[in-house]
Amino acid sequence: MSLQIQHFFDQPTFTYSYVIWDDQTNDAAILDSVMDYDAASGRAVYDSADELIGFVNGKQLRVNYIMETHVHADHLSAAPYLREKLGGKMVIGSEILTVQNVFGKLFNAGPDFPRDGSQFDVLLNDDDILELSENIKIRAMHTPGHTPACMSYVVNDEAVFVGDTLFMPDFGTARCDFPGGSAETLYNSVMKLFQLPSETDVYLCHDYLPEGRTEYQYKTTIGEQRANNIHIGESNNKDEFIAKRTARDAQLAMPKLIMPSVQVNMRAGHLPPPEDNGVSYIKIPVNAV
């Protein structure tokens, strides 16, 4: 035994965060953390992050990396808070520059907002490897489509954290209609994931209860996805997938927290810089797109 994985579920945003660690060395990484944010009142608290901190401290783990699979549009990241409390480096895919350019422009973030990924400590390219410990290696697999910067993280060829690239087989795949998203690109990314061995465990970033299911789930396998994913299982071809995905995206409303999520997550989880009264504000562009 060395690789250990614990999941945490944030019900309001249906998000799974993870702590993964080496039980021989206590080296750990945190994936896709959540800041609790109430959009109506503009209140941000850190109860979910504190739960992660309690877990890490309880097991006396040493956090080396605080990782994001992508710039989330449905929840805010707690990465800077976790780094302050636990240490570790904040990690994301290098295509974050593309995402920062698009959203920097949309939110008119101005010259004070660097679009070079410098808010993060480590930018990963496809196939880069992070050594979490002597026994655990994390390989970055670039899986764009939902967003340009989406990374899947393959851990020791035993497990893969796919972000939003795949959901449970009965829910399918992520939407591709955000800026820089592409159904064709997502299809290619999923085909890349499907090259992994069937028995590889697939850890999800979200689960929503489709009709007929009563329990939230966070884990499946590549084999199960290949056989049963309702959008992109083996019976589907590329054109069918693109048509299905595009039709579904046209029906979807924007996520409730998209405005605060994007403005905070493009800054690696930092709130926008405070104005001269010391308060940070979230902007809403009206009729901009």
Other Cβ atoms less than 10 A from the Cβ of 149: the count is 26
Q: 56 or 144, CB closer to Fe ion?
A: 144
Is the CB of residue 34 less than 8 Å from the CB of residue 75? Answer: yes
Closest separation in Å from C-beta 150 to Fe ion: 8
Is the CB of residue 188 less than 8 Å from the CB of residue 152? Answer: no
Q: Could you tell me whether strands 43-45 and 36-38 are parallel, antiparallel, or unpaired per DSSP bridges?
A: antiparallel
Token duo for residue 49: 């992050």
Q: Which of residues 144-163 bind Fe ion (CB under 5 A)?
A: none
Among 48, 72, 152, 264, binds Fe ion (CB under 5 A): 72
Rule CB under 5 A: say whether 68 interacts with Fe ion: no
Rule CB under 5 A: say whether 10 interacts with Fe ion: no
Q: Cα 68–284–116 angle (5° rounding)?
A: 40
Give the C-alpha separation, 120 to 116, whole Å.
Answer: 9
Is the CB of residue 145 less than 8 Å from the CB of residue 185? Answer: yes
Q: Which stretch binds Fe ion (CB under 5 A): 40-48, 70-78, 83-91, 186-194?
A: 70-78
Closest separation in Å from C-beta 163 to Fe ion: 7
Rule CB under 5 A: say whether 95 interacts with Fe ion: no
Closest C-alpha to 98, from 116, 72, 76: 116
3-state secondary structure of 142: strand
The residue sitting closest to Fe ion, measured at its beta carbon, is 164
Rule CB under 5 A: say whether 115 interacts with Fe ion: no
Rule CB under 5 A: say whether 36 interacts with Fe ion: no
Give the C-alpha separation, 46 to 125, whole Å.
Answer: 30
Binding mask 161-180 for Fe ion (x = CB under 5 A): ---x----------------
Q: How many residues bind Fe ion (CB under 5 A)?
A: 2
Q: 36 or 164, CB closer to Fe ion?
A: 164
Q: Which of residues 191-250 bind Fe ion (CB under 5 A)?
A: none
Closest separation in Å from C-beta 262 to Fe ion: 10
| Alpha-carbon distances, residue 107 vs 37, 58, 202, 259, 283 (angstroms) | 19, 40, 34, 9, 7
Closest separation in Å from C-beta 72 to Fe ion: 5
Q: Which spans of this chain sit near Fe ion (rule: CB under 5 A)?
A: 72, 164
